[in-house]
């Protein structure tokens, strides 16, 4: 380390002042000072050597610090590159995470929409099922009412037939006809003993009986075709006298057979 050298010592001779009294002059003369130059040169040499050592040491220190700084800078540069790469990776991961979260949000929203739609459809189906159940119950009740009405009607018809059967048998014997039920409320009447040459030759017609008490009777088929059939049927629908109607039908068949 550089340290300032002490000021070189000097050993001056004693100064002798001479006064020139010549011509009353006031001029004084100082004798020469004698310096020790060898000592000064030696101390100067020491100073120069110490200064050069100080310069060299400073240069070495600066060089070492520069190398350390360059090494640290290189390490910092590598660390900085690693940090930049890590930041980029973190940003990419963050973007990927955001994209995944956005996709999850869309998927969740879609699922919630589908769940809401399915719930709505489920409620609609449930409501439809309840409506259908009510309709089925109403239909069952209506069917049961119709069954009860039909049963009551059949019982009434059976009761009426049981009451009319003796009279019908008497008319059947008297008017020589037979009855055949084709289906419900449809009966075929077949008359015999019409044609004198062939008593077994039948004349017949099929009539549909009304379901209600005041419904209209209809002739579905008549063989052979007789005159005034519409008039005879109209009288039946007016007076509701079925036995008179049977007599008029036999008379009409008989007239047809006479003219045949």
**Counts of helices then strands in the chain (DSSP H, E):** 3, 6
Q: Please tell me whether residue 44 adopts helix, strand or coil conformation.
A: helix
Domain ranges of the chain: 110-174, 176-259
In sequence order, the β-bridge partners of residue 221 are 206
84 to 76, 95, 141: CA distances (angstroms) = 12, 16, 83
CA angle 213, 219, 221 (to 5 degrees): 150
Amino acid 172: pLDDT: 67
Tokens 């119950």 -> residue: 137
Q: What is the pTM of this model?
A: 0.38
Architecture of the domain defined by 176-259: 2-Layer Sandwich (3.30)
pLDDT tens digit string along 153-196? Answer: 777 656 655 665 565 666 666 677 888 888 888 999 999 888 88
What span, in angstroms and rounded, lies between the C-alpha atoms of 234 and 162?
Answer: 27
What span, in angstroms and rounded, lies between the C-alpha atoms of 34 and 31?
Answer: 10
pLDDT tens digit string along 76-109? Answer: 777 778 888 888 888 888 889 889 988 988 999 8
């Amino acid at each position: 380390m550089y340290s300032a050298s002490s000021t070189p010592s000097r050993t001056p001779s004693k100064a002798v002042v001479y006064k020139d009294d010549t011509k009353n002059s006031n001029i004084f003369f100082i004798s020469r000072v004698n310096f020790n130059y060898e000592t000064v040169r030696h101390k100067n040499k020491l100073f120069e050597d110490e200064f050069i050592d100080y310069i060299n040491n400073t240069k070495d220190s600066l060089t070492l610090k520069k190398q350390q700084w360059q090494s640290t800078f290189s390490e910092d540069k590598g660390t900085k590159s690693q940090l930049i790469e890590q930041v980029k990776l973190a940003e990419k991961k963050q973007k990927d995470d955001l994209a995944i979260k956005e996709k999850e949000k869309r998927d969740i929203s879609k699922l919630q929409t589908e769940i809401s739609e399915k719930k709505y459809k489920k409620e609609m189906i449930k409501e439809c099922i309840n409506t259908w159940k009510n309709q089925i119950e109403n239909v069952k009740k209506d069917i049961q009412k119709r069954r009860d009405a039909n049963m009551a009607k059949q019982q009434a018809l059976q009761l009426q037939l049981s009451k009319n059967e003796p009279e019908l048998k008497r008319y059947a014997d008297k008017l020589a006809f037979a009855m055949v039920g084709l289906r419900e409320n449809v009966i075929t009447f077949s008359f015999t003993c019409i044609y004198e040459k062939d008593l077994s030759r039948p004349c017949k017609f099929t009539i549909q009986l009304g379901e209600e008490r005041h419904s209209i009777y209809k002739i579905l088929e008549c063989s052979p075709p007789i005159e005034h059939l519409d008039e005879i049927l109209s009288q039946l629908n007016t007076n509701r006298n079925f036995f008179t109607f049977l007599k008029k039908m036999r008379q009409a068949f008989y007239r047809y057979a006479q003219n045949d």
